[in-house]
Amino acid sequence: MLGTSFILAVRAIRRHLMRSFLTTLGIIIGVAAVVTMVTLGNGATAQVQSQISSLGSNLLNVNMGAGNGRGGGATPHPFSQDDVDAVRNQVGGVIDVVPQVQSSVTAIYAAQNWSTTANGTTNAYFRANSIKLASGRTFSPAEEQAGKSVCVIGDTVRDSLFKDTDAVGKSLRLNAISCDIIGVMTKRGTSGFGGGSDDSVVMPIKAVMRRLTGNRDIRSFQVAVDQRYDSTTVSASITKLMRERRHLNEGADDDFNIFDAKQLSDTLSGATKTLTGLLAAVAGVSLVVGGIGIMNIMLVSVTERTREIGIRLAIGAVQGEVLMQFLVEAVTLSALGGLMGLILAFALTVGISAGLHIPLTFDVKINLLAFSFAALIGVVFGYVPAKRAAALNPIEALRHE
């Protein structure tokens, strides 16, 4: 019976192709909108997580000043190497601590110059930030200890000063000092999070202190946290230790701030998912509108085919068979609309993802869910017309003109 009902449904749809297409248009738009919104939202979430993870996995950034680096009007008190050593040795869950001293410089090579940042740090900087080298090497222990004038440059600096020339082994001038290039970092992207290393020159921290800043002040340091530890707990321990070392009284505001990349990732991902859900819900309204359109056209179809229904009932068809025929027709319309909606959604997500540079993440679950919901709409909104057709009186139906 189901097979026969499906054949009759296909024939009825083929008799009125344009009307059937316009009827399913609401379903097509609804499915396409929901799947597109969710897919793009998932891609945006993945992009945010990827960009933030480029800052380093479970990485805390401790900076001078209260909240966003502001010191409340007073000059922020800098950190010292003793502070760095204290965090490394006294806080549980810390893999390494990476001190950083930065200075704005003009990098000069041959007739080219480029304004960039000299970042004085240690080899742990490359490990903590998951930075790989395109060529060359990092600092040797002897170079770090002695504060040798050697440097590893970012991809932006290399591209601006050396173009297609191999930079390793060349000598680069930074303001009034010269440094030997021993390595080039891989490109990480200049947009979003984690792109700062591209436009920088990394040197041993002692070299920057001695030859560029002229002091031993440390303005910030990074803390690499063991994956087995909760970064929030480690952050609280660092806060307590720094307050003790900086002699802050109880109730006094922190004169430093800690940026937790993992917390930011979780917050932004949660916000993106919530926004995606809201957009999908709004887009889902068009599915309901499409269902109302199917109910309307099925009621019209029942009216048009009243005499046909009367003949079927008169020659022995039971009400269940008539009900099934119109219900299958409504579900078929909805399912066809859902299928065309999925095809449209795929085309839209490919085009929009490429245009906005968002990674395309194909989610089988949302596609199946949208298609199933479209078919369910056919059942829900097709039942009333089907029930009305099945309840017709054969004699009255045969009299219908």
Q: Does some domain include residue 395?
A: yes
pLDDT at position 70 is 43
Domain boundaries, position 128: 78-245
Burial of 111 (0-12, 13-18, 19+ CB in 10 A): exposed
Give me the amino acid identity at 93. G
Query: How does strand 59-64 pair with strand 256-260?
Result: antiparallel
Q: Give residue-wise pLDDT tens across range 270-297.
A: 777 787 777 777 777 877 888 888 888 8
Residues of the chain with pLDDT under 70: 1-6, 8-9, 49, 51-57, 67-75, 189-196, 264-265, 393-401
Whole-angstrom Cα distance, residue 252 to residue 234? 21
Contact 180, 171 (CB under 8 A): yes
pLDDT at position 344 is 93
Query: Does residue 131 sit in the same domain as residue 229?
Result: yes
Query: Does residue 191 sit in the same domain as residue 315?
Result: no
Query: Does residue 315 sit in the same domain as residue 387?
Result: yes
pLDDT at position 183 is 95
pLDDT at position 71 is 42
Q: Does some domain include residue 62?
A: no
Query: Does residue 230 sit in the same domain as residue 272?
Result: no
Query: Does residue 158 sit in the same domain as residue 282?
Result: no
Instruction: Give the chain's domain count.
Output: 2
Q: Does some domain include residue 305?
A: yes
- In sequence order, what are the beta bridge partners of 106? 115
Query: Does residue 145 sit in the same domain as residue 39?
Result: no
Query: Which of 245, 277, 312 is the C-terminal boundary of a domain?
Result: 245
Query: Does residue 271 sit in the same domain as residue 224?
Result: no
Token readout for 349 is: 């997500």
Q: Does some domain include residue 253?
A: no
What is the number of other CB atoms lying within 10 angstroms of the CB of residue 223? 27
Query: Does residue 239 sit in the same domain as residue 299?
Result: no
Query: Which of 214, 245, 276 is the C-terminal boundary of a domain?
Result: 245
Q: Does some domain include residue 59?
A: no
Query: Does residue 288 sit in the same domain as residue 169?
Result: no
Q: Does some domain include residue 345?
A: yes
Query: Does residue 101 sit in the same domain as residue 240?
Result: yes
Q: Does some domain include residue 204?
A: yes
Q: Does some domain include residue 60?
A: no
Query: Does residue 305 sit in the same domain as residue 389?
Result: yes
pLDDT at position 51 is 67
pLDDT at position 5 is 64
Contact 180, 151 (CB under 8 A): yes
Query: Does residue 229 sit in the same domain as residue 275?
Result: no
Q: Give residue-wise pLDDT tens across range 302-344.
A: 777 777 777 777 777 777 777 777 788 888 888 898 999 999 9
